[in-house]
């Protein structure tokens, strides 16, 4: 087979599907994620193997395993496919007004104040673009970015490395104590065990829940796991009702405006700690789009959250800040 005929027979779609199947090990999973039928995915793989004249998978095994030749082929095309996707994204968004698709997700912290304004801004600057806006937990957004089901995500920075994604830090959101308004509840009594007011925790499967649990362990605080909430509003409603206390952040507190009159915020005692919020994008996403979203988010967060909070809670001026 000549080089010219090989170039004619190789398809970009076949190479992309081969990469996905090699990573997932399942035709069914790849078919679902790509929106194709299993038979279509299988057909592309067979054409690819026929084109280069070797078996890339051991088809008798489940999950599908690469042959040694398949492994070598995957290593050689990974960088090339990344460059092609990056070039396509940059070309389509070289002029932002011509961009055609943007899939963006944020954590729920930005649902009410930030995401609506960001959506309006992007739709006016990218008039030909089809948008998908959603919200969800940080760990799910990171996973969807890695699976290329999203282009951009605004999340809490995870503890694991994110070298495979593009990152722009946005906000330092320090952990603080939320107490019922009743002055008889004192944080010193709670930490010493003199108070029976329980800690209302974040769910252990959330990044924020794991971060708080890790810090409590490091500083030597142990509290019973009686109450656990995955919803910030529910957690602070319970604190406002006197059912417990919480470790939260200014950003999360800001979302629970209806309960502010029944809550007190205090600094976390001892060594302070915070979570970082950042914009992440998949390697396919245009740098211009990533930068546009990051810059607009910084302006919105400063206007809607940081400056009002500094005015109302001056002791947070240094710790609750933009990067």
pLDDT digits (tens, 9 = 90+) for 153-173: 999 998 788 888 999 999 999
Residue span(s) of the chain under CATH 1.10.10.10 come to 3-92
Per-residue confidence (pLDDT) for residue 224, from 0 to 100: 75
User: Which of 94-98, 144-148, 292-296 reaches the highest mean pLDDT?
Assistant: 292-296
In this structure, what are the phi and psi dihedrals at residue 135, rounded to the nearest 5 degrees? -130, 160
Contact (Cβ atoms closer than 8 angstroms) between residue 120 and residue 169:
no
Angle, vertex CA 267, rays to CA 266 and CA 269, nearest 5: 115
Helix count and strand count (H, E) for the chain: 13, 13
Q: Which CATH class is domain 96-167+282-311?
A: alpha beta
Per-residue confidence (pLDDT) for residue 6, from 0 to 100: 43
C-alpha 154/C-alpha 176 separation (Å) is: 22
Higher pLDDT, 250 or 77: 250
Residue 132 three-state SS: strand
Least confident segment among 9-13, 118-122, 241-245? 9-13
Q: Does the pLDDT value for residue 97 go beyond 70?
A: no
Per-residue confidence (pLDDT) for residue 292, from 0 to 100: 92
Q: Please report which confidence band the pLDDT of residue 98 belongs to, taking 50, 70 and 90 as the band edges.
A: low
Average pLDDT (301-306) is 94
Residue 160 three-state SS: coil
Average pLDDT (311-317) is 92
Segment 139-156, tens digit of pLDDT = 899 999 988 889 999 999
Q: Does the pLDDT value for residue 188 go beyond 80?
A: yes
Q: Please report which confidence band the pLDDT of residue 90 belongs to, taking 50, 70 and 90 as the band edges.
A: low
Per-residue confidence (pLDDT) for residue 102, from 0 to 100: 87
Per-residue confidence (pLDDT) for residue 270, from 0 to 100: 81
Average pLDDT (238-250) is 94
C-alpha 175/C-alpha 215 separation (Å) is: 10
Contacts of 294 (CB under 8 A, 6+ apart): 168, 170, 279
Question: What count of other Cβ atoms lies within 10 Å of the Cβ of residue 222?
Answer: 9
* CATH architecture classification, 3-92: Orthogonal Bundle (1.10)
138-146 and 207-219 helices, crossing angle to 10°: 120
Residue span(s) of the chain under CATH 3.40.190.10 come to 96-167+282-311, 176-272
Average pLDDT (212-239) is 87
Q: Smallest Cα–Cα separation from 17: which of 1, 8, 37?
A: 37
CATH number of 176-272: 3.40.190.10
Average pLDDT (24-39) is 84
Q: Please report which confidence band the pLDDT of residue 185 belongs to, taking 50, 70 and 90 as the band edges.
A: confident
Please tell me what DSSP assigns to residue 247: E
Q: Does the pLDDT value for residue 8 go beyond 50?
A: no
Per-residue confidence (pLDDT) for residue 89, from 0 to 100: 57
State both tokens at 13: 């779609």
Task: Provide the sign of the torsion angle of the four alpha carbons 169, 78, 98, 120, taken in this order.
Answer: negative
Mean pLDDT (the chain) is 86
């Amino acid at each position: 087979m000549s080089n010219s005929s090989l170039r004619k027979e190789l398809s970009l779609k076949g190479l992309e599907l081969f990469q996905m199947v090699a990573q997932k090990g399942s035709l069914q999973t790849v078919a679902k994620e790509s929106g194709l039928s299993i038979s279509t995915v299988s057909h592309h793989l067979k054409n690819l193997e026929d084109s280069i004249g070797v078996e890339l998978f051991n088809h008798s095994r489940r999950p599908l395993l690469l042959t040694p030749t398949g492994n070598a082929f995957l290593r050689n095309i990974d960088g090339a496919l990344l460059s092609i996707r990056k070039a396509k994204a940059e070309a389509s968004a070289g002029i932002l007004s011509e961009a055609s698709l943007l899939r963006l997700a944020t954590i729920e912290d930005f649902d009410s104040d930030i995401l609506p304004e960001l959506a309006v801004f992007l739709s006016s600057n990218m008039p030909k673009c089809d948008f998908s806006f959603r919200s969800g937990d940080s760990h799910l957004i990171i996973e969807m970015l890695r699976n290329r089901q999203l282009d951009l995500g605004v999340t809490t920075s995870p503890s694991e490395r994110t070298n495979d994604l593009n990152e722009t830090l946005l906000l330092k959101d320090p952990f603080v104590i939320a107490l019922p308004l009743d002055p008889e509840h004192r944080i010193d009594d709670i930490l010493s065990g003199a108070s029976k007011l329980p800690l209302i925790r974040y769910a252990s499967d959330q990044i924020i829940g794991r971060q708080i649990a890790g810090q409590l362990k490091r500083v030597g605080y142990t509290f019973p796991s009686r109450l656990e909430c995955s919803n910030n509003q529910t957690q602070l409603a319970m604190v406002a009702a006197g059912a417990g206390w919480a470790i939260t952040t200014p950003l999360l507190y800001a979302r629970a405006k209806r309960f502010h009159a029944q809550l007190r915020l205090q600094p976390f005692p001892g060594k302070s700690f915070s979570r970082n919020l950042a914009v992440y994008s998949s390697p396919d996403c245009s740098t211009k789009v990533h930068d546009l979203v990051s810059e607009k988010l910084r302006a919105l967060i400063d206007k809607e959250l940081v400056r009002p909070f500094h005015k109302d809670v001056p002791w947070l001026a240094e710790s609750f800040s933009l990067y």
